[in-house]
Amino acid sequence: MRFLLVGNYGARNVGDDALKHYFLTRFPEIEWAVLSARPGSGEYPRLPLGMRSLLATPWWKTLSAYAHADGLVFGGGSLFTDSESAFACVLWALHAWVARLFRVPVHLAFQGIGPFRSWLARACARSVLRRARFVSVRDALSASTVRSLAPNTKMIQSFDPVFSLNVEQKGPDRSQKIFSIIPRGNSQESFIRRAEELATEGGFSGMQILTLEASAADRSMGERLQRALAATVHPVSDWGELLNRVAGSTLVLTERFHGALAAVRLGVPVEIIAHTPGDKLDALQRRLRESSASEISTQFLSEVRVGEQALRSALQSQS
C-alpha cells in the first residue's frame, strides 16, 4: 500500500517533525510518500499555492505521486484552522481537491480542527471533512467542530500521537530546581510577564529557555527572554531532546502545545498560557483540570491507541 502523508512537515518545528516520525515508524507496513515544505531524500514538495512555489518547486513530481497513491493521510497537527492564517486551510484543501481529481481517498488522522475566524477557512474545512473517508481528532473541541461542520461524517476522538512516542531519556538531575520556559516566536507581553513573575517567586537554581522552531521569530524571542531573565537559550531539534530537557525541570511554563505534552508525559508540573478559546492549548488545559497527571497520561495513551488502531483498519481496508 502506498499513501501520501501530508502535514506541516519540513517547517523546522519539533512537533511537526515528531508527527512525521510517528507515522513512518508506527506504520511500517505502509509505503509513505511524504509531502514536505522542505523535501528531504525520497520526499515530495507540497503543491504550489502561489507563483513563487509554482516556479520554484518540481510540483509535477508530486502529481505523479498522487497518480500512484492508494490514499492520502493528513497526518496530525492543527492543519484546518486559521488561528494564524487562512492560507493554511486553503493549502490543505487544495491537496484534498487534487486527491479527488485522482480519485484518491482522503483520511484525516489525529487532527486539530478549528477554531475559525473566517468563512473561507471554515468552508475549506467543511469541504474536506464531508468527503473524507476517515476522520480522527485529538480533542473534544475539535470533535465538536467536526460535528457542526460535517454532522454525517463518522469520527473518532483520539489524542496527539506524539504523546505515545518512546524515547530513551537521561536521568533527571533532581538536585537542582530548574525553571523551563517554552515560548512562541510571537509570544505576547503577558507570557513574558508571567515568566518574570515565576522566575522571581520560584527560587530556582537555574532557568532555561527552550525554542522549538528554527525560525527568526523564535530566535529573537529566545534572546529577548534571555536578556530579561538571565537564562540560557537551548534550541531544541527533536522530541527526544525536548523530553530530556524537560525531564530535569521543576516547573514548565509553555505557550507551545508539544512543550506541554512533554511535561505531562514526564509528570512535570506545567503552566500553560493559552490565548485563543477553542484552540489546542485551551483544549489541553480543560483536560488537565479534569484529572490528575497520572490519570490524564494514562487516558491520553489509551486514546492514541484507539486512534491508531482505527486508522490502521481504515488504511488496510483499501488493500
Q: Look up residue 64 and give its amino acid.
A: S
State how far the Cα of 18 lies from the Cα of 23, in Å rounded to an integer: 9
For β-strands 251-254 and 270-272, DSSP reports them as parallel
Closest by CA position to 304, among listed 166, 165, 164, 112:
164
Q: Look up residue 166 and give its amino acid.
A: N
3-state DSSP assignment of residue 187: coil
Burial of 297 (0-12, 13-18, 19+ CB in 10 A): middle
For β-strands 251-254 and 206-211, DSSP reports them as unpaired
For β-strands 31-36 and 134-137, DSSP reports them as unpaired
Q: Look up residue 225 and give its amino acid.
A: L
Closest by CA position to 169, among listed 234, 235, 245, 236:
245
Task: Mark out the alpha helices in the chain (DSSP H runs).
Answer: 14-26, 51-56, 59-67, 86-101, 119-131, 140-149, 189-201, 216-229, 239-247, 257-266, 280-290, 293-316
Q: Which helix (H) or strand (E) holds 76?
A: strand 71-80
pLDDT in tens, the chain (319 residues): 999 999 999 999 999 999 999 999 999 999 999 999 999 999 999 999 876 677 678 989 999 999 999 999 999 999 999 988 888 999 999 999 999 999 999 999 999 999 999 999 999 999 999 999 999 999 999 999 999 999 999 999 999 999 999 766 655 565 689 999 999 999 999 999 999 999 999 889 999 999 999 999 999 999 999 999 999 999 999 999 999 999 989 999 999 999 999 999 999 999 999 988 888 999 999 999 988 878 999 999 999 999 999 999 999 997 6
CATH topology of domain 178-273: Rossmann fold (3.40.50)
Question: According to CATH, where is 3.40.50.720 located in the chain?
Answer: 178-273
CATH architecture of the domain with range 2-157+301-316: 3-Layer(aba) Sandwich (3.40)
State how far the Cα of 242 lies from the Cα of 313, in Å rounded to an integer: 31
Q: What is the DSSP-derived secondary structure letter of residue 283?
A: H
Q: Which residues contact 151 (CB under 8 A, 6 or more apart)?
A: none
Q: Which helix (H) or strand (E) holds 207?
A: strand 206-211
Sheet holding 31-36, edge to edge: 44-45, 31-36, 2-6, 71-80, 106-113, 134-137, 156-157
User: For residue 280, what pLDDT is reported?
Assistant: 92
State how far the Cα of 156 lies from the Cα of 306, in Å rounded to an integer: 8
Residues 176-187: b if buried by 16+ CB within 10 A, e if exposed: eebbbbbbbbeb
> Do the beta carbons of residue 161 and residue 305 sit within 8 Å?
no
